[in-house]
A and B are shown apart, each in its own frame.
Chain A
Amino acid sequence: MTPQAPATTATRPPVMSVRGLTKDFTSGGLFSRARHRALNAVDLDIPHGRIVALVGESGSGKSTLARCLARLEQPTRGEIRLDGQDVLRTQKRGASRAYRGAVQMVFQDPFGSLNPVHRVEHFLRRPLLLHGKPAQESDLRALMTTVGLDADMLQSYPHELSGGQRQRVAVARALAVDPRLVLADEPTSMLDVSVRVGILNLMRRLRDERSISMLYITHDLASARYVADTIQVLFAGELVEGGDSLALMDRPAHPYTQLLLSAVPDPERTEPYDPVRRAALRAAVLTPESCPYTAEGTCSRTTPVRHVIGEDDGEPHWVRCHLYAPATPTARRVLTAAVPETENG
């Protein structure tokens, strides 16, 4: 199995590229070690100045991937290349300060990620001082303005701010050290609807004005489509589909992507999603042996490789599914509820 490296549209090399990233968690006592593979051979490029969305349901490994990239977890195997340098090899014992400056993270819960005993000012000044950057009052005020907050709030405590304002502070904290890549782990899922779009718009603005790359982790597909340039679908620790976000949502290819998409409430859909079709998708996803779409459980015998099935805006749309192997006569197939005819296994 030689996965093709995902091509990038940007002329500049990707800010971060990940190859074969694998993470195992062990559980149990000394003598009964159980291993759980949270990430399996993930290949991912995050291009310069673009937002990549990583979608998948709970437990698919989204957050583990982000934590590995932020070097909060030590991956079992694989490469994480920042500007072509494999940081897992050169910085074995933890990330260097330069790496931490270049890669910043925004966490899910703005209520838990800000220490309640400090003023907002403290959260912004500290990273600046740690990374040896000027930390004058004017620098802090500029940061507040960037994220759309009133500079007078520097003297406020977190409990005096709303959830949306706190999350903006968390973004400002991440921006303080001038990162090239921001890892945003479900930054809007704890927020009220009234402020969600504001945070999403802030992310888009930072990409456009400051060319910051972002990995946006979410299970909200509509927001991923709204904010991200490309979407990568993570299922049980493996990337199964990726491509331009509009194209991928219009023509989802992998059964898992279709399952995810079918679960999103959509008022425009005139009738409820066909339960038979859902059940077939669910079966296909859970047990590759009984996937009704491939003949004789091809997925369980050989791991599918990436097949490119289309291209939009120079962004290849790829999927890991045997149905889309180049040998099949049609380049793209629509999965239907009925068991399809068996063609070339």
Chain B
Amino acid sequence: MTSSFDGPVLDVRNLRVAYGGDGRSVLGADDVSFSIGPGEVFGLAGESGCGKSTVANAIMRLLKPPAVITGSVSFKGRDVLAMDPRELRAFRWREIAMVFQSAMNSLNPVLTVGEQIGDIFTTHEKLKKRHARARSGELLELVGIDPARLKSYPHQLSGGMRQRVVIAMAVALKPSLLIMDEPTTALDVVVQQEIMAQIGDLRRELGFSVLFITHDMSLMIELSHRMGVMYGGRLVELAPAKALFAEPLHPYTQALMGAFPPLTGPRVHLSGLSDAPRTAGGCGFHAVCPDDRSDCSHHIPDLREVAEGRFVARTAGGPR
């Protein structure tokens, strides 16, 4: 936030991650491009194994060989993929912080919450222990937890409180971008709602952007400004969240939305996601595509802009 850079906070171009191995390699992400503006919440949706977490890990430089990363990731104009270990240490947490999928388990069970939060300040800000403790208390208050809880061990907190502690730790150094990988998957709806509202408040207060990863389409549409849908390592649709909800264009997006039972209206029969497997020979969805875009039977095509701000993976134009 301190920088005067006024482009997108994060710009990912043609990101490609290949997990290599004994003579064969698997594409975790293939030619993924998107950008996140200041203060924006960008969502990445898709089922397990579609490459959502691979993208997040690549942005954080958490992938090690045999993963091969190509393309570019620039954060406020700096090339993330070219950073050396010392730069990375300063960059992580201070610039981009991450809340992991199993945040519930990412706290160390043998250290108190206070010790773990204090670590951030003593390591990154070189604060004295006493000051670090004071800052940690303020941080807990920020997420609505009594600072007396600094003395608690993780197992003494409920799942929702542990998640809040992890979120508080992530925003401790006021990063410009927060990556959240399925932050509420293990929580029940009431706690999920409270945590997401809290993240919204923090975002308004501290002004960071969010890369939000989940498979829960309803939650994502409600919370994010723009979103991308991933399938088989590729982005198949990129659009403002509300527009995507109103009119999903890619058949996979439609299928994904059809996997969630509605809360209102008559009881309908859902078919869920089609079981058509993705093979080397096709994306698995070309069979259900309209005629005008059936040319993608051999690969998932690149995104093309079909309307203002709306991108969908298909080869030909068509009406929309």
- Residues of chain A whose beta carbon lies under 8 Å from any beta carbon of chain B: 57-58, 192-198, 200-201, 219-223, 225-227, 246, 249-250, 259-269, 272-273, 275
Q: By the criterion of a CB under 8 Å from any partner CB, how many residues of chain B are at the interface?
A: 35
Q: Is the interface of A mostly helix, strand, loop or mixed?
A: helix
Q: How far is the CA of A201 from the CA of B194 in the complex (A)?
A: 31
State whether A226 and B261 are in contact (beta carbons under 8 Å apart), knowing that A194-B48, A194-B272, A264-B189 are contacts in the complex: yes
Closest to B48 in A: A192
Residues of A within 8 A of B273 (CB): 193-195, 197
Say which residue of A195, A262, A267 sits within 8 Å of B222 (CB atoms): A267
Q: How far is the CA of A102 from the CA of B272 in the complex (A)?
A: 31
Q: How far is the CA of A225 from the CA of B191 in the complex (A)?
A: 20
Whether the pair B259, A265 counts as a contact (CB closer than 8 A) is no
Closest to B266 in A: A246
Q: Mark B178-194, 1 if CB is under 8 A from A, else 0.
A: 00000000011111111
Q: How far is the CA of A269 from the CA of B222 in the complex (A)?
A: 8
Residues of B within 8 A of A193 (CB): 47, 215-217, 256, 259-260, 273
Q: How far is the CA of A57 from the CA of B192 in the complex (A)?
A: 11
Q: How far is the CA of A227 from the CA of B268 in the complex (A)?
A: 10
Residues of B within 8 A of A58 (CB): 159, 187-188, 191
Closest to A246 in B: B267
Closest to A222 in B: B261
Residues of B within 8 A of A259 (CB): 190
Whether the pair A221, B263 counts as a contact (CB closer than 8 A) is yes
Whether the pair A265, B216 counts as a contact (CB closer than 8 A) is yes
Whether the pair B259, A197 counts as a contact (CB closer than 8 A) is yes
Q: Which of B108-139 contact A (CB under 8 A)?
A: none
Q: How far is the CA of A259 from the CA of B193 in the complex (A)?
A: 10
Residues of A within 8 A of B264 (CB): 249-250, 266, 268
Q: How far is the CA of A192 from the CA of B215 in the complex (A)?
A: 8
Whether the pair A226, B221 counts as a contact (CB closer than 8 A) is no
State whether A264 and B263 are in contact (beta carbons under 8 Å apart), knowing that A57-B189, A58-B191, A221-B189 are contacts in the complex: yes
State whether A222 and B190 are in contact (beta carbons under 8 Å apart), knowing that A193-B256, A197-B270, A267-B245 are contacts in the complex: no
Whether the pair B221, A275 counts as a contact (CB closer than 8 A) is no
Whether the pair A57, B193 counts as a contact (CB closer than 8 A) is no
Residues of B within 8 A of A275 (CB): 197
Closest to A245 in B: B267
Closest to B201 in A: A275
Quick check: is B271 within 8 A (CB to CB) of the other chain?
Answer: yes
Closest to A223 in B: B261
Whether the pair B263, A197 counts as a contact (CB closer than 8 A) is no
Whether the pair B159, A263 counts as a contact (CB closer than 8 A) is no
Whether the pair A225, B272 counts as a contact (CB closer than 8 A) is no
Closest to B221 in A: A267
Whether the pair B272, A263 counts as a contact (CB closer than 8 A) is no
Say which residue of A222, A260, A263 sits within 8 Å of B262 (CB atoms): A222
